[in-house]
Amino acid sequence: MFSQTLHTALNDQIKYEFDSAHLYLSMSAYFEGLNLPGFARWMRVQYQEEVSHALKFFDFINQRGGHVVMKAIDQPPTTFESTLDVFQQALANEQKVTALINQIYALAVQENDYPTQVMLHWFIMEQVEEEQSVSQIVELLKLSGGQGTALIMLDRQLAARKEDEH
């Protein structure tokens, strides 16, 4: 079992992961509305990943004898300025999640909670990949101007994303 502080932080992280999932699904809907199915697919796969991340925390809390507390999911934005704006918001979201996971890890270190530290190693490396993936798309959108033929080509590239890759 873990301390109440760590227990609360892990439960809060479930909420943040579901908030992220909800954000990405909203972004997917936005791209569907723009007839950009590749961007929509990329965001939908991202949604599925965030749900799986929430469930990893859910399962870990239960494995350690804790009690999962489901919290309300925040309302995500539904409109965006551009494809670049969407991915800049996605990057900001990933950076926020990274900071939250790092805070939980620091707490686990402070409390000498080794099982939580080990579990969080996976998330720490996952966040490195998440931020890199989104950053690359942001840079491609900036480089291409985020419109015209370049946008169509990027849409096709993103459509090829498999469900278990970043």
- pLDDT tens-digit readout, 76-129: 999 999 999 999 999 999 999 999 999 999 999 999 999 999 999 999 999 999
Region 36-52 average pLDDT = 97
**What's the pLDDT score for residue 72?**
97
Alpha helices in 65-147 (DSSP H): 83-110, 114-144
Q: Whole-number mean pLDDT of the chain? A: 95
- Residues 56-81 pLDDT 10s: 999 999 999 999 999 999 999 999 99
What is the model's pLDDT at position 162?
A: 77
Number of structural domains in the chain: 1
* Contact indicator for 144, 150 with CB cutoff of 8 Å: yes
Structure token digits, residue 147: 């419109």
Say what the pLDDT of residue 127 is: 97
Cα–Cα distance measured from residue 132 to residue 89, given in angstroms and rounded to the nearest whole number: 14
Domain-embedded: residue 165: no
pTM, to two decimals = 0.93
Is 124 among the domain residues?
yes
> What is the extent of the structural domain holding 93?
4-159
The residue with tokens 């491609």 is 140
Q: Do the domain assignments include residue 66?
A: yes
What does the buried/exposed string (b/e) look like for 104-115 if buried means 16 or more CB atoms within 10 Å of the residue's CB? Answer: bbebbeeeebee
3-state SS assignment for residue 64: coil
- What angle (nearest 5°) sits at the alpha carbon of residue 2, between those of residues 104 and 16? 35
CATH number of the domain bearing residue 50: 1.20.1260.10
Q: Which of 39, 47, 41, 40 is nearest to 23 (CA)?
A: 47
Residue 124 confidence (pLDDT): 98
**Residue 164 within any structural domain of the chain:** no
Asked if the structure places residue 63 within a domain, the reply is yes
